[in-house]
Amino acid sequence: MIIKCKVTNQIFQTTGGHFTVLEGKAEDNKSFLLAYKGLNPPIPLRSIEYVLRGEFAKHPRYGKIFHVKGFERVAKKPEPLFAVA
């Protein structure tokens, strides 16, 4: 499954940084939790959009969580430096 979203908050990270739980906001403005195993997780900045690849799974305590298998940052279209009249 592929989801386009913004990562808004880091909720938890292990001491070594190998597991991170983050909060994301999808294009339909719904918030959800996501889990990432590995170093260099998505950065929680509202100005950055990501395309996440992974699957939803149900956690017995925390409910529905998206397990991220991979991600990439969405490139923004460059804005013109000046307007031509």
Domain residue ranges of the chain, discontinuous segments joined by +: 2-73
Give the pLDDT confidence of 24-78 residue by residue, as tens digits.
999 888 999 999 999 999 989 878 899 999 999 998 988 899 999 999 998 776 6
Contact predicate 81/75, CB 8 Å = no
Q: What is the mean pLDDT of residues 20-25?
A: 94
pTM score > 0.85 for this model?
A: no
Residue 78's pLDDT is 61
Residue 45's pLDDT is 86
Residue 75's pLDDT is 74
Residue 70's pLDDT is 95
CATH fold of the domain at 2-73: OB fold (Dihydrolipoamide Acetyltransferase, E2P) (2.40.50)
